[in-house]
Amino acid sequence: MSSNRARGFESFVAGAGGRLLHAATLLTAETADRNPRARDLLVSALARTYAVWDQLRDEDPYDHARRELAARFALGSWRFHPPRGGPLGALRPRERLVLVLRLYEGVPEEQTAALLGLSTERIHTICRRAVTAVHTPGAR
C-alpha cells in the first residue's frame, strides 16, 4: 500500500469514522457503549471502500462508504438479531435503514430509493411509518 494512499484513507477514516459508526449503531439498534455488530458493519464497509480507494477520484468517499454500510446492513438484516435497545430498536431493519439514510444522513428520497431498489413513494411511506413509530412508543 502506498504511503499517500494510506495517509489519504487514514485521514478519511479519522474524519468520517465517528459519524459512520454512529450511523451503523443506529442501523443495528445497539447502544453506543455496546455495539459489536455496528463495529463489524463499519469495518466491512471501510474495507470495501479501501479496496476501491484509488478509483474514487471523482466520487465522494463518504458517499461510497455510506452506500457500502447500507448494502452490508441490508445483506445481513435478514438474519434475526434481537433488538438491543437504542433509539431505533423498535423499528424493523428496513425502517431503520430508510430512517438513518433519510433523516440522519440527509440522503434525498430519490437517492435512497435508487440505493435500495424501491420506489420513492415506498421510501416516503416507510420513513413516515418509522417516524410515527419512534414518536409513539408501544405503537407496535
- Residue 140: inside a domain: no
**Are 130 and 96 a contacting pair, CB within 8 Å?**
yes
Residues 6+ apart with CB under 8 A from 117: none
- Residue 106: inside a domain: yes
Each residue's pLDDT tens digit, 9-54: 999 999 999 999 999 999 999 988 999 999 999 999 999 999 999 9
Measured from the Cβ of residue 28, the count of other Cβ atoms closer than 10 Å reads 27
| Mean pLDDT value of segment 57-73 | 94
- Residue 7: inside a domain: yes
Number of structural domains the chain divides into: 1
Reply yes or no on whether the pLDDT at 78 is more than 80. Answer: no
Containing structural domain, residue 92: 3-135
Each residue's pLDDT tens digit, 80-105: 666 667 788 889 999 999 999 999 99
Q: CATH no. for residue 66?
A: 1.20.140.160
Identify the pLDDT of residue 20.
Answer: 98
Reply yes or no on whether the pLDDT at 140 is more than 70. Answer: no
